[in-house]
Amino acid sequence: MSFNSFGRVFRFSTWGESHGPAIGAVVDGCPPGLALSEADIQPWLDLRKPGTSKFTTQRREPDAVRILSGVFEGRTTGTPISLMIDNTDQRSKDYSDVAKAYRPGHADYAYDAKYGFRDYRGGGRSSARETASRVAAGAVARAVIPDVDIFAYVSEIGGDGIDHANFDPAQIAENPFFCPDAQAARRWEKLVDDARLDGSSLGAVVECVAAGVPAGWGAPLYAKLDSELAAAMMSINAVKGVEIGDGFAAARLRGEQNADPMRPGADGPTFLANHAGGIAGGISTGQPIKLRVAFKPTSSILIPVDTVTREGEASQIITKGRHDPCVGIRGVPVVEAMMALVLADQKLLHRAQCGDRAAD
């Protein structure tokens, strides 16, 4: 067990604080012989990169990844892959407010309670900056599951959801919100900008689909695919809810409505519905894996909130700095990365126990 690692056979560990010299990830257990270079990883980091629109933080980090080990002549060797990203935009700043008083909604108070003190610069280890390491590791995971197609998008911001009738995956890359509904994207421009100008922030819902997962990945009972995915998603900063398939909506259905009936198909059974989100008994069914993730609104806001100081005195705090008005937006590539990381691990786990027979 390891506090900062995730995965069972295909396993990654991350390290680094927002205001240290660098952050990074070590990916262990990667199969050998896969083509991998920095150019395979960088595009995913660029999607998550701050400073690309006024709807994300204005911190500017090139987030250039370096591979320090585990790759030889363009292929993975089977040894640990060390990935490093320098921190370049650590704007010199006065952190005395944050050092003295706890920002409600942040990890400040909990870290102090646990560790006795904390690295308060930019949130330290609890900063969303850590998610860049996940995105880098996720790019390695994608090389392990080349037949799986993963995509995520924002389906709701501040309670304003997309209309699934307008769903067009091609739109996702066309707006700064990873939004598949062009009309919603237009509405969100004003919505997010208003929150930003108010010094406030908005929550969001991110949906993710993985197509091409064969039936048979996942393992009952405590390595169930639902359980692994929930753990993965809930480990992302600001995430407070996860649904697989219909999730909470399934709790309002009757058994016959929630069943996913089957018919004979050319390559095994065809399913007539996918309420289960592609997972039954914790194991993939061959249908697309589907999940939804709730991001709370960014805790860093310019509106004063009641708080206490480290010395226990009443105070108010506002969190200056360059923050995402809606942290869920940049969560999209992170959700995708975690999906890839879980599935790569599950592919290898399945292969360990059951051989290549059903692996893919």
Going by the annotation, the residues of the binding site are 48, 54, 125-127, 237-238, 281, 296-300, 322
Nearer to a copy of itself, 39 or 254 (CB): 254
CB of 229 to a copy of itself, least distance (A): 8
- DSSP 8-class letter at 36: -
Closer residue to a copy of itself (CB): 21 or 174: 21
Q: How many CA atoms lie within 13 A of 13 on its CB side?
A: 12
Annotated binding residues for NADP(+): 48, 54
The smaller minimum CB distance to a copy of itself, of residues 170 and 355, is found at: 355
Indicate the SS3 state at residue 277: coil
Nearest CB to a copy of itself, comparing residues 24 and 170? 24
Min separation Cβ 201 and a copy of itself, Å: 4
Please identify, using beta-carbon distances, which residue of 88 and 174 lies nearer to a copy of itself. 88
Q: Which residue has the tokens 């226990």?
A: 312
Q: How far apart are CA 285 and CA 268, in angstroms?
A: 10
Quick one: which of 224, 202, 230 has its CA closest to 298?
202
Q: State the minimum distance, in angstroms, from the CB of residue 95 to a copy of itself.
A: 12
Q: How far apart are CA 210 and CA 280, in angstroms?
A: 15
- Which residues are CB-neighbours of 199 under 8 A, at least 6 positions away? 301, 302, 303, 318
CB of 54 to a copy of itself, least distance (A): 17
CB of 275 to a copy of itself, least distance (A): 8
* Residue positions forming the annotated binding site for FMN: 125-127, 237-238, 281, 296-300, 322
Residues paired with 307 in a beta bridge: 315
Backbone angles phi, psi at 141, to 5 degrees: -60, -40
Q: How far is CA 150 from the centre of its chain?
A: 12
